[in-house]
Amino acid sequence: MYCKLPEYIALRSWPLVPHAYFVRYSPYAQPLTKREFEIMLLCDGEHDIEFDETVMALVTRRLIVTCEKGDHPSEWSEYKSYDNRYFPKMNLMITGKCNYNCLHCFNAADNAPLMTEWTFEDICDLFDQARDCGIHALTITGGEPMVHKHFMDIIREIHRRNMFVEELNTNGYYITQEILDEMKAVGCYPLIKISFDGIGYHDWMRDRKGAEQKTLDAIKLCIANGFRVKVQTQVHRKNIESMMPTAKVLNDLGVNEMRIIRTTEVPRWLENAGDACLGIEEYYEKLLAFAKEYISSDMKMGIKVSDTLSDWKNLSVIGKEGQI
């Protein structure tokens, strides 16, 4: 019988990960036994493979499919070996520039003269190198990545190299139906991580009148177009009491997850907000009270509570099951 790798499977190896495969649009390579790997190497539409239990298991798992002789796998699916360490994904800050002047952020518009961004040519060269290292998934961030004049070209170049955008960090200002249609046309459906700092407080935090409604509209538009949305919320003494009302609004919109982050004592934030920082113990106390109230509610949105200094090793996660 003749077999090939289906279009969503790619066979890969690295010196420390010698037997593995990628599933398209899944960031991490999955392990194979040596025997499974050796069989999949022969699944090129040219080798006549003897049917046995391992082959049957691979077919059942849809890691290989039967085919006619001469029916070859795609260029992406074909076996590739890399001589570097295993790096399946990367974060790329394509620009330090931003259209908002956020009170806590070093990438604020105030600092625009200090901010640089990648040229399109340099980014394409980096993508070639990333592909040649076996990198599969990217997180695109900034600044505000969508201010880059080649933003959509960058998205297209990633997917043209058979990599994909796993996550997009944005303030949501530039999200339009046109942009989302272009992303869908490329096959780009990242987790869209949108900053939103609480009902009644977002305009102040972002130093932009109308930012709150603009962001909520962007969240609605993303969800209506089938994109998963994760909202990232800076919390401090001024907005801590808005966390439950904010969670309710986001849950009702269909947001997948809300990540709450303590706004830390960076110079810009201290200058703009005075003593608004929550101390660590105060933060724990306030968020544990929030967690108790959230768990007892009927909301289903995931909640992640973290600290930007250590991320608490993702200590606190609240889900539908009420775990923390």
Instruction: CATH number of the domain at 230, please.
Output: 3.20.20.70
- Phi then psi for 192, rounded to 5 degrees? -95, 115
In this structure, the answer to whether residues 133 and 230 fall within a common structural domain is: yes
Number of domains in the chain: 2
In this structure, the answer to whether residues 311 and 270 fall within a common structural domain is: yes
In this structure, the answer to whether residues 69 and 104 fall within a common structural domain is: no
pLDDT tens, residue by residue, 257-269: 999 999 999 999 9
Residue 319 has pLDDT above 90, yes or no: no
**Residue 124 falls inside a structural domain:** yes
What sign does the dihedral 240-245-249-250 (CA atoms) show?
positive
In this structure, the answer to whether residues 51 and 147 fall within a common structural domain is: no
Per-residue pLDDT band at 107 (split at 50, 70, 90): confident
Q: Where does a domain end: 81, 103, 124?
A: 81
pLDDT the model gives residue 263: 94
In this structure, the answer to whether residues 252 and 219 fall within a common structural domain is: yes
For the residues 44-51, what does the mean pLDDT come to?
Answer: 95
Per-residue pLDDT band at 71 (split at 50, 70, 90): very high
Per-residue pLDDT band at 318 (split at 50, 70, 90): very low
For the residues 189-203, what does the mean pLDDT come to?
Answer: 97
Closest CA to 69 of 50, 42, 48: 48
Distance from C-alpha of 296 to C-alpha of 2, rounded to nearest angstrom: 56
Decide: 14 and 84 in contact? Cβ < 8 Å.
Answer: yes
**Residue 176 falls inside a structural domain:** yes
Distance from C-alpha of 94 to C-alpha of 157, rounded to nearest angstrom: 13
Closest CA to 30 of 40, 20, 38: 20
> Of 113-117, 130-134, 254-258, 283-287, which gets the smallest average pLDDT?
113-117
In this structure, the answer to whether residues 222 and 289 fall within a common structural domain is: yes
What angle do helix axes 120-132 and 151-160 make, rounded to 10 degrees? 20
Residue 147 has what DSSP assignment?
G
**Residue 239 falls inside a structural domain:** yes
In this structure, the answer to whether residues 67 and 150 fall within a common structural domain is: no
Residue 56 has pLDDT above 70, yes or no: yes
Distance from C-alpha of 303 to C-alpha of 316, rounded to nearest angstrom: 8
In this structure, the answer to whether residues 103 and 15 fall within a common structural domain is: no
Average pLDDT, the chain: 93
Closest CA to 150 of 226, 92, 214: 92
In this structure, the answer to whether residues 106 and 70 fall within a common structural domain is: no
pLDDT the model gives residue 307: 59
Decide: 54 and 36 in contact? Cβ < 8 Å.
Answer: yes
Residue 233 has pLDDT above 70, yes or no: yes
**Residue 324 falls inside a structural domain:** no
Distance from C-alpha of 52 to C-alpha of 9, rounded to nearest angstrom: 21
In this structure, the answer to whether residues 242 and 96 fall within a common structural domain is: yes
Residue 272 has pLDDT above 90, yes or no: yes
Residue 105 has pLDDT above 60, yes or no: yes
Is residue 323 classed as helix, strand or coil in its secondary structure?
coil
Whose tokens are 């992303």? That residue is: 183
**Residue 323 falls inside a structural domain:** no
Look at phi and psi of residue 198 and say left if phi exceeds 0, alpha if psi is from -120 to 50, else beta: left
Distance from C-alpha of 137 to C-alpha of 162, rounded to nearest angstrom: 9
pLDDT the model gives residue 311: 45
Q: Where does a domain end: 31, 64, 81?
A: 81
Per-residue pLDDT band at 314 (split at 50, 70, 90): very low
In this structure, the answer to whether residues 98 and 237 fall within a common structural domain is: yes
**Residue 107 falls inside a structural domain:** yes
**Residue 54 falls inside a structural domain:** yes
- Give the helix/strand (H/E) hosting 286: helix 280-295
Look at phi and psi of residue 254 and say left if phi exceeds 0, alpha if psi is from -120 to 50, else beta: left
Tokens of 32: 């194979």
In this structure, the answer to whether residues 195 and 228 fall within a common structural domain is: yes
Closest CA to 263 of 105, 88, 62: 105
Residue 315 has pLDDT above 50, yes or no: no
Residue 308 has pLDDT above 60, yes or no: no
Q: What is Dmax (Cα atoms) for the chain? A: 73
pLDDT the model gives residue 324: 39
Decide: 163 and 135 in contact? Cβ < 8 Å.
Answer: yes
Distance from C-alpha of 261 to C-alpha of 50, rounded to nearest angstrom: 55
Residue 235 has pLDDT above 50, yes or no: yes
For the residues 74-85, what does the mean pLDDT come to?
Answer: 96
Tokens of 285: 């106390």
Question: Quick one: what percent of the chain has pLDDT higher than 70?
Answer: 93
Per-residue pLDDT band at 211 (split at 50, 70, 90): very high
Distances (CA, A) of 85 to 23, 143, 199, 243: 19, 29, 45, 42
Domain that holds residue 8: 2-81
Q: Where does a domain end: 29, 64, 81?
A: 81
Tokens of 261: 């982050």
Residue 236 has pLDDT above 80, yes or no: yes
- Phi then psi for 248, rounded to 5 degrees? -60, -45
pTM: 0.91
**Residue 233 falls inside a structural domain:** yes
Better-predicted residue by pLDDT, 315 or 307: 307
